[in-house]
Amino acid sequence: MSTQTVSRARPLKGTASVPADKSVSHRAALLAALSDGRTTLHGFPRAADPQSTLSCLRQLGVSIDVEGDTVHIDGVGLHGLQAPSEPVDCGNSGTTMRLLAGILAGQPFDSTLTGDESLRARPMERIATPLRQMDAAIRLTNGTAPIHISGRAEPLHAITYRLPMASAQVKSCVLLAGLYAEGTTTVVEPVQCRDHTERMLDLPIEVDDSDVRHIHVTSEDGPVATTWAPLPGDFSSAAFLLVAATLVPESEVTIADVGLNPTRTGLLDVLQAMGADLTVTDRTETNGEPMGTITARYAALEGITVEGAAIPNLIDEIPVLSVAAACAEGTTVIRDAAELRVKETDRLEAIAEVLTRMGVSVSEQEDGLTIVGDANALAGATVRSFHDHRIAMAAGVAGCVAEGETTIQNAESARVSFPAFWDVLHRLQG
């Protein structure tokens, strides 16, 4: 078990870079494997989750060459994957497992998807339900992984599927399965969530009179080999540094080449509504994904209510948003975030425990948190990371503004998404 001790920070100054966006990287690698030709991904992250996707593709017969942080993937086409010789190990990556399930549901061979203890505890019925409606033969293990998928000689059956929750993983699973279906598969999305998959496949989208999106895919919408130069930086990783700079007096931190997909950057809007000093410059686009440079400066924050349609676009940032709320003047209420209870850990319970141990007044609700802000109340403590990368880094940010020392247990879990986080946090203090 590794621990990390964080003391009240000196002003954070300078520039930083973050790993490539995990959500984009997963999808870019999977679609590269299903294309005809070679795809090159510059800046592919070395974090554990995207590397799990590469490992799984190799198990399925895909040739992948790695040169530093550049990855070359030789696509095998929609129907060129090979039967794995053993269960396909997705590590800790729920994105890998749920998206691969959609692809493997349409293959002519049997396969099994498994992962580590944490991943095997996460709910998978949410993808099994639509895949079964498409006539895929899916067998779960008590509602979770391992997932057993039987091969089929015929195409899947196209369906129209209305998402019961705002989940980009479920949406992407169905859209990828739709590449193997006869007819047009449509995903109906009442609340928009991250849209990387439909952007990369350039899928047709209709918006009805109620502003509900209908995303269509057929077997003719297969991916095309391409080059990403570079992959956009991960906004979710940048969020920890942006919040730290916002909370530590006299700080100013700039992060370049960050992904600015509007379905991912809800935290920017929420922080600005709380009074944060954030600017975005150098806007550009790569393969349909917007990106740019974000600068954060110290600012006093005020508590607000965050709920409804705002939640899906900042779901991964709620742990560090909770830290910002703990330092804001007044009360912050977070609602409609029950999805956080079925992530790598129960993130609502986890961040509530971290902040409570550090002297913050936090109460849990079934779908959220109520946090009474008081920057002067934060005191160093020994806290658990729950082996969750986002909880570990959020605790690190809280430690930057707490009186005394904060010790984070199992701090190495940060490497799942941001391997250099602790080094970067230290370097920005000069």
Q: Using pLDDT thresholds of 50, 70 and 90, give the confidence band for residue 1.
A: low
When the pLDDT of each residue in the chain is averaged and rounded to a whole number, the result is 96
At residue 343, the pLDDT reads 80
Q: Supply the pTM of this predicted model.
A: 0.88
Q: Using pLDDT thresholds of 50, 70 and 90, give the confidence band for residue 416.
A: confident
Domains defined for the chain, CATH in brackets:
3-20+233-427 (3.65.10.10), 22-228 (3.65.10.10)
> Roughly what angle, to the nearest 10 degrees, separates helices 235-247 and 266-274?
10
Active site residue 336: no
Q: For 359-410, what is each residue's pLDDT tens digit?
A: 999 999 999 999 999 989 999 999 999 999 999 999 999 999 999 999 999 9
Neighbours of 161 (CB within 10 A): 24
Neighbours of 272 (CB within 10 A): 12
Write down the catalytic residue from 49, 221, 316, 388. Answer: 316
- Please compute the mean of the pLDDT values over residues 259-266 and round it to a whole number: 95
Strand partners, 333: 305, 370
Asked if pLDDT for residue 329 goes beyond 60, the answer is yes
Cα 90 to Cα 88: distance, rounded to the nearest angstrom: 6
The DSSP-derived string for 31-52 is HHHTSEEEEEEET---SHHHHH
Q: For 207-225, what is each residue's pLDDT tens digit?
A: 999 999 999 999 999 999 9
Taking CA 7 as the corner, what is the angle to CA 2 and CA 13, rounded to the nearest 5 degrees? Answer: 110
C-alpha torsion sign, points 268, 274, 280, 283: positive
Q: Using pLDDT thresholds of 50, 70 and 90, give the confidence band for residue 260.
A: very high
Q: For 118-151, what is each residue's pLDDT tens digit?
A: 899 999 999 999 999 999 999 999 999 999 999 9
